[in-house]
């Protein structure tokens, strides 16, 4: 079972995410082909390079690596001159002059980021095992809240009935 999870399953998750991100990158290319983005603009180059990087390094993205990267980045933020990739891409997207194109590119980028997040979760055995437990806990909390609300409502009705009985 572990061989399957840490072998073919990891590759499958990475391949699915990459394929989806390739499609999103192609959507940006199509926008440039239609003249909505300039192939030679800094914005297009940054967006394209960002897509290429996440495609290239998707196989290295694991929950553990993700946590280490962000922990390292946040603790050494004063020492590092590097600008986070998310800031560069978001800044490039914001510089797109045409509002509908900018909005569409934002959606495309968010979809690509979501594909990476799903891949990251699917490749993590801890998340796979914890997710059902978290869902059960969430659902049971909602059920308990409903039961408590109904009990409170029932108790307030009983108090009203008693008050009416004492007044009569």
For 92-105, the pLDDT digits (tens) are: 999 999 999 999 99
Same domain, 115 and 152: no
Same domain, 81 and 134: no
Whole-number pLDDT of residue 72? 56
User: Domain count of the chain?
Assistant: 2
79 has a pLDDT exceeding 70? no
Structure tokens at 118: 């799903």
Render pLDDT for 12-56 as a digit per residue (tens, 0 to 9).
999 999 999 999 999 999 999 999 999 999 999 999 999 999 999
Same domain, 63 and 105: yes
Angstrom distances, CA of residue 19 to CA of 16, 30, 38, 46:
5, 16, 24, 20
Structure tokens at 141: 């909390």
Render pLDDT for 93-145 as a digit per residue (tens, 0 to 9).
999 999 999 999 999 999 999 999 899 888 888 777 888 888 898 899 899 98
Same domain, 48 and 116: yes
Same domain, 59 and 47: yes
Same domain, 95 and 12: yes
- Which structural domain range is residue 154 located in? 126-168
Whole-number pLDDT of residue 111? 95
Same domain, 109 and 144: no
Q: Pick 16 or 168 by higher pLDDT.
A: 16
């Amino acid at each position: 079972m572990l061989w399957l999870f840490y072998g073919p399953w990891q590759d499958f998750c990475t391949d699915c995410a990459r394929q989806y991100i390739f499609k999103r990158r192609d959507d940006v290319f199509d926008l440039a082909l239609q003249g909505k983005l300039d192939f030679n603009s800094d914005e297009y180059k940054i967006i394209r390079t960002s897509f290429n990087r996440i495609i290239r390094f998707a196989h290295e993205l694991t929950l553990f690596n993700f946590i280490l990267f962000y922990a390292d980045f946040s603790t050494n933020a004063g020492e590092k001159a590097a600008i986070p990739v998310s800031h560069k891409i978001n800044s490039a997207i914001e510089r797109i002059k045409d509002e509908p194109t900018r909005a569409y590119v934002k959606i495309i980028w968010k979809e690509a980021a979501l594909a990476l997040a799903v891949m990251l979760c699917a490749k993590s055995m801890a998340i796979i095992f914890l997710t059902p437990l978290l869902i059960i806990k969430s659902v049971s909390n909602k059920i308990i809240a409903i039961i408590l609300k109904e009990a409170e409502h029932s108790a307030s009705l009983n108090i009203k009935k008693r008050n009416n009985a004492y007044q009569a």
